[in-house]
Amino acid sequence: MWFSHRLNRELAMQSSNEKVNEFLIDIQSTLPNKFETVKEIRKLFFSENPEIDEEIKYGGIAFNISGQLIGGIYVYKQHISIEFSHGAQFMDSNGFLEGKGKLRRHLKILDISDVKNKAINIYIKQSVTTKGIKMVKFGYTVYYVSNVTETLEFFEKAFKMKRRFLTEELDYGELETGETVLAFATHELGKTNFSGGYISATDSDKPLGVEIALVAEDVNSAHASALKYGAKELQKPVQKTWGQVVSHVRCPSGILLELCTPIGSV
């Protein structure tokens, strides 16, 4: 029995979501004639965008990009339905899409030959786009400051963050902040991008209406460290009604900074 279960797992295309793996194994056991088709459809979704997230939802495999539902695979005894959340916007010259809702459409797949015959890769390719524009990824937050080196040093000293790099001209630098990069550039560099000018966080009397939020297990210590290295206190650490401990400071560069505990940590 253990060997059979292991064999089933190896036959299924592995997912990082355990419930998806269980779903695939169940399809392989109960509807083996549909399993290869489901596996091929999943492969096409991931070939178009490897960063797709999948989960079990509404009785099938739902696909998401950046938290937005783009479609899913739903298995029935007589057919497989590929749902597209924004299918009404798709080009469908062959008229294969079914449904009359405001947004959603679906493809009915009878067997694995329909994967090719109905050119489902064309529809899946469109599913990872919104109004014809490829879904983008949040990569950088860039603040324009008076002194890039001093700003990097503040974050390094106050929060023990690591520097990714600083240009030889000292006009642009980045911190190691995970998948989304926190970066700083000089006002001189900013002026080359915005001929009409912009409001400087450094020179504004009040903080700009945008903040950087840093998650810390100990907000009180992080808050004290920020003040030690020159930040101005705007709000002492307080516990919010939803449980988070939150404080606000303004960095020497003028940047509004929130320090907060992880959601659900208190």
* pLDDT digit string, tens, across residues 160-190: 999 999 999 999 999 999 888 999 999 999 9
pLDDT of residue 115: 92
Q: Is the pLDDT of residue 242 over 90?
A: no
Q: Has residue 255 got a pLDDT over 80?
A: yes
Q: Specify if 149 maps to a domain.
A: yes
Say which CATH number the domain at 40 has.
3.90.1150
Whether 266 is in a domain gets the answer no
pLDDT in tens, 102-115: 889 999 999 999 99
Compute CA distances 20 → 24, 56, 124, whole Å.
6, 6, 19
Q: What is the pLDDT of residues 60-83, one digit of tens each?
A: 999 998 888 999 999 998 999 999
pTM greater than the 0.85 cutoff: no
* pLDDT of 10 strictly over 50: no
Residue 59 has pLDDT above 80, yes or no: yes
DSSP conformational letter for 209: S
Residue 265's pLDDT is 57
Q: Where are the beta strands (DSSP E) in 110-176?
A: 129-130, 133-134, 140-145, 163-166, 172-175
User: Residue 195: what pLDDT?
Assistant: 84
- The answer to whether residue 265 is domain-embedded is no
36 and 123, same domain (yes or no) = yes
Q: What value does the mean pLDDT of the chain take?
A: 89
Of 105, 134, 163, the residue at which a domain comes to its end is 134
Q: Are both 118 and 153 inside the same structural domain?
A: no
Domain that holds residue 220: 140-260
Structure tokens at 119: 């050119």
Q: Is the pLDDT of residue 133 over 80?
A: no
Strand order in the sheet with 140-145: 140-145, 181-186, 172-175, 163-166
pLDDT at residue 112, rounded to an integer: 92
In a domain, 7, yes or no: yes
Domain end position, chosen among 97, 112, 134: 134
Whether 70 maps to a domain, the answer reads yes
* pLDDT for position 5: 42
Higher-scoring residue by pLDDT: 139, 210: 210
Task: Tell me, yes or no, whether 36 and 81 share the same domain.
Answer: yes
Give the domain-ending residue among 134, 156, 181.
134
**Domains: count for the chain:** 2
**Claim to verify: residue 60 and residue 167 sit in the same structural domain:** no
**Based on the domain organization, do 53 and 77 belong to the same domain?**
yes
Quick check: 251 and 227 in contact, CB under 8 A? no
